[in-house]
Amino acid sequence: MRVLIIKTSSLGDIVHTFPAVTDAAIRIPNFNCDWVVEENFAVLPTLHSAINMVIPIALRRWKRSILTTLINGEVLTFVNQLRNTNYDLVVDAQGLYKSAILTILARGISAGFDYYSARESWVSYSYHHKINVPIQLHAITRLRYLFAQAFNYQMPTDAPNFGLMTIYPTITKPYLIFIPATTWFSKHYPLTHWVELINLANNTGYTVFIAWYTEIERNQAMEMITQAQAGELLINQGIKVMASWLSGATGVISVDTGLAHLAVALNTPTVILYGPTSKELTGAIGSQHINLQGIEPCIPCRQRTCKITTLSQPLCLANLSPKLVWAAMNELIKHVNN
């Protein structure tokens, strides 16, 4: 069966889709799956053992230079590649206008969230099969439910299987990875708390590597290292290399961001800090992780900026003490070692 998945972004959302792909691959004979994804994440679906071909799209880059894009023929090249195959089923796993347009352009019977389930309701009119999925379910469960209905098999009740191929560690010495960077300001953990965590890890004998992506994030990481007088920058070398680092880490401490969900999918002991987002709806699900939610009464507000504070650091995670976070990390590490 030739299948196309439309799920262009973001990193965490793509990882959340992996268990649904695994479910289908186990249950559908001759499952042959392609995936449309943003070019920045094109490597990510290739980590899943059931993915045959990735079709990269550059919507984010095209928006920044529409005229150049139209002139150089990139869009036409992409459309030709998208329509080069007749698919038995095209699954829109995103439920947004951009993914609905791609679903219409692709060749094949389509399936997606119905009017009451999609993030943008009107897109349901784009699909041949409109599937109702309860919106109160966790994101991973929603996608597993969507695929079960689309492919006509019983909804699995087992734990999510992310289906990732074996990824070998970059180095073998014990180390931790801290991930303080995220595009949502309201998700940030106070810098002073990160400094204390670096010191706690360093005093326990761990080398701490700090992940970053933009130059601003690099500068923030350097400030943490300077204040703690410990820690190292984790060189940004793309998703596949990062997956290797994550797979070999003794543990990961992170704000709610895509790399944290990838770490959980790789079965790395991971503590994730949730402020404005809900651990019940989008929290990591795996075998070796702890989701810590902030304790402010306004949580989860699902807002990118904090509306009730003028502090340089957001309020959401300020009351999650470094000692509490470090205790959670130690609990996971001990559990794995036992």
Residue 258 belongs to domain with CATH number: 3.40.50.2000
The answer as to whether 197 is a domain residue is yes
The answer as to whether 165 is a domain residue is no
Going residue by residue through the chain (338 aa), what tens digit of pLDDT does each one get? Answer: 999 999 999 999 999 999 999 999 999 999 999 999 999 999 999 999 999 999 999 998 888 887 787 778 899 999 999 999 999 999 999 999 999 999 999 999 999 999 999 999 999 999 999 999 999 999 999 999 999 999 999 999 999 999 998 887 767 789 999 999 998 888 999 999 999 999 999 999 999 999 999 999 999 999 999 999 999 999 888 999 999 999 999 999 999 999 999 999 999 999 999 999 999 999 999 989 999 998 888 888 888 877 776 556 677 888 899 999 999 999 999 988 77
Q: Which residues of 282-320 are buried (b: 16+ CB within 10 A; e: fewer)?
A: bbbbbebbbbbbbebeebbbebeebeeeeeebbbbbbeb
The answer as to whether 68 is a domain residue is yes
User: So what's the pLDDT on residue 163?
Assistant: 96
Domain boundary among the residues 151, 167, 188 is at: 151
User: Are 263 and 215 in the same domain?
Assistant: yes
The answer as to whether 263 is a domain residue is yes
The answer as to whether 156 is a domain residue is no
User: So what's the pLDDT on residue 194?
Assistant: 97
The answer as to whether 164 is a domain residue is no
User: Are 146 and 179 in the same domain?
Assistant: no
User: Are 63 and 183 in the same domain?
Assistant: no
The answer as to whether 325 is a domain residue is yes
User: Are 181 and 287 in the same domain?
Assistant: yes
User: Are 109 and 199 in the same domain?
Assistant: no
Q: For the chain, how many structural domains are there in total? A: 2
User: Are 136 and 243 in the same domain?
Assistant: no
Domain boundary among the residues 151, 185, 213 is at: 151
Question: CA–CA separation, 327 vs 256, rounded Å?
Answer: 18
User: Are 183 and 137 in the same domain?
Assistant: no
User: Are 136 and 191 in the same domain?
Assistant: no
Domain boundary among the residues 151, 183, 203 is at: 151
User: Are 218 and 271 in the same domain?
Assistant: yes
User: Are 333 and 188 in the same domain?
Assistant: yes
User: Are 328 and 214 in the same domain?
Assistant: yes
Contact predicate 38/59, CB 8 Å: yes
Report in angstroms the alpha-carbon separations of 290 from 42, 316, 335: 28, 18, 12
User: Are 86 and 190 in the same domain?
Assistant: no
The answer as to whether 167 is a domain residue is no
Task: Print the domain residue range for 250.
Answer: 175-337
User: So what's the pLDDT on residue 226?
Assistant: 98
